[in-house]
């Protein structure tokens, strides 16, 4: 995680950032402190009663500071980190003295954090073993996605955005099918009790779309009406302008390489998780005894955070638009590719 610190808010920004960093790392620090004496970790930078705070603890926290900070700001940030670690250590000692670390609920939380940290570390190790994309693979991706590169077009829309799926959407969708203009679409919405503002001149580049939606939007011309999902929203847009903005292979290559590397990492993780599940002896017990074994990796799409979720490389899409149907599922996209290509104008 990276924290941005505005240059005109140095002191206040550093303190807020480092406080957040300490908060984020509390679970892992609690684990480390509950299982090992921090004084053994290396050179001490502070001492709270009989417990030392090591320079390695400060270094670990400082890794999350934004890149490119001036030396004086790094020095200030490290001092704030030390102060926060001291505050944290006093609370840890209080917790130990009052046996809070032996509370059943706290022990469950610590065990859950430990399992999660180890599982994510395993994922990182598996993903790190994936191969690097070759020049031929990069070229092939470029040639197969010309609408994203050599034939790249930026489309400008007038849009109506609905904050979510209306209860009567099936009826509204049928009535929208024959309309050809945004004004007609707005009339249909109002007739169904839906009021939404019109935003004019909104530009959308192909890299802001899911990969499989790019060819669909590339075919759109001025005057065309398109309906699609964008996150939780439903967008009704009419094309008002298109502009050719191609990107050559040499400029696109580093972003394609990162995208393909991320995809290979995801595929390697998915394959290994499936192999591990297939080779393990899994039996449901107790209230789940009647449940049939699932396909390996099914846990990744269930109930909140997936166990084998990508934690760094699989970032959310820059814009979660899909093909022109609100019922379609969002396909894979990559923020690094989107940001990279977007910067090559």
Res 82 pLDDT > 50: yes
Q: Which residue has the higher pLDDT, 323 or 200?
A: 200
Cross-strand pairs, 226: 237
pLDDT at residue 19 above 70?
no
Residue 310 pLDDT:
35
Split at pLDDT 50, 70, 90, the class of 67 is confident
pLDDT exceeds cutoff 60 at 166: yes
CA dihedral 58, 63, 67, 73 (to 10 degrees): -10
Confidence band of 4 (pLDDT split at 50, 70, 90): very low
In this structure, are residues 179 and 287 in contact, taking their beta carbons and an 8 Å threshold?
Answer: no
Q: What is the pLDDT of residue 42?
A: 54
Name the strand (E) or helix (H) holding 170.
helix 169-176
Which whole number is the average pLDDT over 46-55?
Answer: 95
pLDDT tens figures, 192-209 = 999 999 999 999 999 888
Q: What Å distances lie between residue 52 and 31, 33, 80, 154, 291, CA to CA? A: 16, 11, 17, 57, 50
**pLDDT score of 229 more than 50:** yes
For residues 1 and 63, the answer to whether their CB atoms sit within 8 Å is no
Does residue 22 register a pLDDT over 90?
no
Residue 14 pLDDT: 44
pLDDT of 341 strictly over 80: no
Tell me the mean pLDDT in the region 273-282: 94
Predicted confidence (pLDDT) per residue in 83-95, tens digit: 999 999 999 999 9
Q: How confident is the model at residue 212 (pLDDT cuts 50, 70, 90)?
A: confident
Task: State yes or no: pLDDT of 318 exceeds 50.
Answer: no
């Amino acid at each position: 995680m990276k924290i941005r610190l505005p240059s005109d808010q140095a002191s206040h920004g550093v303190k807020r950032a480092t406080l957040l960093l300490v908060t984020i790392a509390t679970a892992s620090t609690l684990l480390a402190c509950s299982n090992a004496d921090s004084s053994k970790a290396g050179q001490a930078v502070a001492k709270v009663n009989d417990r030392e705070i090591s320079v390695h603890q400060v270094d670990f926290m400082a890794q999350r500071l934004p890149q490119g900070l001036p030396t004086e700001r790094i020095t200030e940030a490290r001092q704030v980190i030390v102060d926060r670690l001291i505050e944290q250590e006093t609370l840890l000692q209080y917790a130990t003295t009052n046996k809070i670390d032996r509370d059943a609920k706290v022990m469950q939380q610590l065990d859950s954090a430990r399992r999660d940290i180890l599982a994510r570390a395993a994922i990182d190790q598996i993903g790190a073993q994936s191969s690097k994309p070759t020049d031929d693979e990069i070229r092939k991706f470029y040639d197969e996605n010309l609408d994203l590169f050599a034939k790249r077009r930026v489309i400008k829309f007038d849009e109506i955005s609905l904050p979510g799926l209306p209860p009567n959407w099936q009826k509204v969708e049928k009535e929208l099918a024959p309309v050809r203009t945004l004004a007609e679409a707005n009339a249909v919405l109002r007739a169904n009790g839906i009021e939404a503002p019109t935003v004019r001149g909104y530009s959308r580049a192909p890299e802001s779309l899911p990969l499989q939606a790019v060819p669909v939007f590339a075919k759109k011309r001025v005057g065309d009406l398109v309906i699609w999902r964008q996150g939780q929203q439903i967008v009704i847009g009419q094309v008002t302008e298109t502009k050719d903005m191609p990107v050559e292979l040499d400029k696109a290559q580093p972003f394609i390489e990162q995208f393909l590397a991320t995809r290979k990492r995801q595929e390697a993780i998915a394959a290994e998780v499936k192999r591990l599940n297939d080779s393990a002896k899994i039996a449901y017990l107790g209230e789940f005894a009647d449940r049939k074994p699932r396909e390996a990796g099914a846990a990744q799409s269930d109930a909140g955070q997936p166990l084998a979720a990508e934690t760094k490389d699989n970032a959310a899409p820059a814009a979660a638009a899909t093909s022109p149907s609100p019922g379609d599922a969002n396909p894979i996209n990559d923020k690094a590719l989107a940001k990279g290509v977007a910067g090559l104008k």
